[in-house]
C-alpha cells in the first residue's frame, strides 16, 4: 500500500466549485424571481351549490333510514315466543310450580282468556303429539 501524505503536491481536486461572489449577493433576488406569483383564489358558484345539494341529500337519506333503524332495533329486543317456550321446556331445573310462583296478578289476568277449542282441534293435537302420557299425568 502506498503512503498517503496530505502535504505533498499534486493533490486531487474536488468536483465542487464555488460560484463567483455575485451569485451569493443576488441569490435572494433570483430566488424571488423564480417563485410563482400569487394569483387570487377563485371560488366557483357551483361549488356552494354542490355542497348544499350534498347536505340536502344526506338529510334525506337519514330521514328515510331512521324509521327503519328504529323498527329493527325494537325487533331485536323482543323475544320470540317460540324461542322462549323452547327454552323453558328444555330447562331441567324449571318446573311448572316455579313458573306459577313467578307470575304476578297482572300476568294471571293476561293469561285468563276464553279460548274456544273445538273437539276436532283437540283430537288433532293429541293424535299428532306423541307425549300424550305426559299430558295425562300432569
Q: The whole model's pTM is what?
A: 0.26
| Cβ 138 vs Cβ 96: under 8 Å | yes
Pick out the chain residues at pLDDT < 50: none
- Residue 10 pLDDT: 66
Give the C-alpha separation, 71 to 54, whole Å. Answer: 26
Residue 57 lies in a domain: yes
Give the CA angle between residues 19, 25, 26 to the nearest 5°.
Answer: 90
- Residue 75 pLDDT: 63
- Residue 45 pLDDT: 67
Average pLDDT, the chain: 78
Residue 62 lies in a domain: yes
Contacts of 48 (CB under 8 A, 6+ apart): none
- Residue 77 pLDDT: 56
- Residue 25 pLDDT: 83
**Number of domains the chain is built from:** 1
Residue 17 lies in a domain: no
Which tens digits make up the pLDDT trace of 80-98?
778 877 887 787 677 778 8
Residue 68 lies in a domain: yes
Domain that holds residue 64: 49-78
Residue 123 lies in a domain: no
Amino acid at each position: 500500500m502506498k503512503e498517503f501524505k496530505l502535504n505533498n503536491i499534486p493533490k486531487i481536486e474536488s468536483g465542487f466549485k464555488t460560484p463567483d461572489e455575485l451569485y451569493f449577493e443576488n441569490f435572494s433576488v433570483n430566488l424571488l424571481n423564480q417563485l410563482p406569483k400569487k394569483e387570487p383564489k377563485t371560488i366557483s358558484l357551483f361549488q356552494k351549490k354542490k355542497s348544499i345539494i350534498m347536505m340536502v341529500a344526506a338529510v334525506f337519506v337519514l330521514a328515510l333510514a331512521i324509521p327503519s333503524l328504529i323498527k329493527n332495533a325494537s325487533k331485536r329486543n323482543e323475544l320470540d315466543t317460540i324461542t322462549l317456550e323452547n327454552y323453558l321446556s328444555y330447562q331441567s331445573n324449571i318446573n311448572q310450580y316455579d313458573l306459577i310462583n313467578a307470575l304476578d296478578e297482572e300476568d294471571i289476568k293476561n293469561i285468563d282468556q276464553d279460548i274456544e277449542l273445538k273437539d276436532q282441534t283437540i283430537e288433532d293435537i293429541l293424535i299428532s303429539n306423541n307425549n300424550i302420557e305426559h299430558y295425562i299425568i300432569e
